[in-house]
């Protein structure tokens, strides 16, 4: 995966791209992306993160994780959780600029960013139940905080993907723009944040994150244990097989 950090004035941008797989995140990509995000926050007032090539990210690269052992799965989940930890720990606001598909762990990471803007062609959601898994990145805490418990439950329990306009209507997004205007709109939003008093912005973000208390870490611990337990089930094996074979899943509940 290509990961690039660029700076323009007070705004740092993290761009990542893995052509041919909708920027799906392989296990080795996760610590590199977390490191780039941390690097971008140094000396910036705002960080914008986005995928290139017409997609944000398809989330976990299922082809790379299908046959992992429980201990290896734990490492993958912790890799996604570290992205959330870094996004929350940065002193400056993080904007997720979403174009195209944004699902699974990538969508859940985006929910840990401070603001989200998406193109009109974006589709978002957490389809984990469709392959026998559960969400990660403290989504069981962060997603209800953004859109309410009812809509969050609907997304997590059905696994359905929703268009950007619906996500915006339910509070998951802060703005929606045509694809050819997304970069400019994200930049405009970043400049608006960068123009505010830096120390006050940092203090405000710190207070917002502190308001979550220990709930995020507790959620990530529970999610990790649930994911590791599910990775040994027949349903997860069936879900991954169906994904590879491009067919509907047939779950047995075992």
Buried b (16+ CB within 10 A) or exposed e, 133-165: bbbbbbbbbbbbbbbeeebbeebbeebebbbbe
* Strand duo 115-119 + 46-51: pairing: unpaired
* 58 neighbors 110 (Cβ within 8 angstroms): no
Q: What is the pLDDT of residue 243?
A: 83
Terminal Cα distance for the chain, rounded: 35
Q: What is the pLDDT of residue 148?
A: 96
Q: What is the pLDDT of residue 239?
A: 87
Q: For residue 52, what are its two tokens? A: 């290139």
Q: What is the pLDDT of residue 179?
A: 97
Q: For residue 121, what are its two tokens? A: 């062609």
Nearest-angstrom CA–CA distance, 220 and 240: 23
Q: What is the pLDDT of residue 10?
A: 97
pLDDT in tens, the chain (254 residues): 999 999 999 999 999 999 999 999 999 999 999 999 999 999 999 999 999 999 999 999 988 887 788 888 899 999 999 999 999 999 999 999 999 999 999 999 999 999 999 999 999 999 999 999 999 999 999 999 999 999 999 999 999 999 999 999 999 999 999 999 999 999 999 999 999 999 999 999 999 999 998 999 999 999 999 999 998 899 988 888 888 888 988 999 99
* 190 neighbors 11 (Cβ within 8 angstroms): yes
Predicted TM-score of the model (pTM): 0.95
Q: For residue 249, what are its two tokens? A: 């899943």
Give 122's strand partners. Answer: none
Q: How far is CA 188 from the centre of its chain?
A: 22
Q: From 101, 99, 107, select the one nearest 136 (Cα to Cα).
A: 107
* 225 neighbors 78 (Cβ within 8 angstroms): no
Q: What letter does residue 46 receive in the DSSP assignment?
A: E
Q: What letter does residue 134 receive in the DSSP assignment?
A: -
**Radius of gyration of the chain from its Cα atoms, rounded to whole angstroms:** 17
Give 123's strand partners. Answer: 101, 163
* Strand duo 123-125 + 162-163: pairing: antiparallel
Cβ-based neighbour number of residue 170 at 10 Å: 16
Alpha helical stretches, state H, 148-249: 149-158, 164-169, 182-194, 198-210, 215-230, 234-245
Query: So which residues are the catalytic ones?
Result: 108, 128
Q: What is the pLDDT of residue 48?
A: 98
Q: What is the pLDDT of residue 242?
A: 86
Site of tokens 């993080």: 94
Q: What is the pLDDT of residue 237?
A: 87
Q: What is the pLDDT of residue 137?
A: 95
Nearest-angstrom CA–CA distance, 50 and 125: 17
Alpha helical stretches, state H, 8-47: 29-41
List of residues 6+ apart from 205 with CB closer than 8 A: 90, 91, 92, 93, 114
């Amino acid at each position: 995966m290509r990961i690039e950090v660029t700076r323009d004035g007070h705004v740092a941008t993290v761009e990542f791209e893995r052509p041919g797989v909708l920027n799906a995140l392989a296990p080795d990509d996760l610590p590199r992306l977390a490191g780039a995000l941390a690097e971008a926050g140094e000396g910036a007032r705002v960080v914008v993160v986005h995928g290139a090539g017409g997609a944000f990210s398809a989330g976990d690269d299922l082809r790379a994780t299908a046959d992992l052992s429980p201990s290896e799965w734990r490492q993958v989940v912790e890799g996604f959780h570290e992205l959330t930890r870094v996004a929350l720990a940065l002193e400056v606001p993080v904007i997720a600029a979403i174009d195209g598909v944004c699902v699974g762990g990538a969508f859940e990471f985006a929910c840990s960013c401070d603001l989200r803007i998406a193109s009109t062609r974006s589709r978002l959601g957490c389809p984990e139940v469709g392959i026998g898994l559960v969400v990660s990145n403290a989504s069981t805490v962060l997603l209800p905080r953004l859109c309410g418990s009812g809509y969050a439950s609907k997304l997590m329990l059905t696994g359905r993907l929703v268009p950007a306009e619906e996500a915006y209507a339910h509070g998951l997004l802060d703005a929606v723009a045509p694809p050819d205007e997304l970069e400019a709109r994200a930049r405009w939003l970043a400049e608006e944040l960068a123009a505010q008093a830096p120390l006050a912005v940092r203090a405000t973000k710190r207070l917002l994150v502190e308001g979550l208390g220990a709930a995020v870490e507790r959620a990530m611990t529970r999610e990790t244990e649930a994911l590791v337990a599910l990775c040994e089930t027949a349903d997860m094996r069936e879900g991954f097989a169906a994904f590879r074979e491009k067919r509907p899943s047939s779950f047995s509940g075992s």
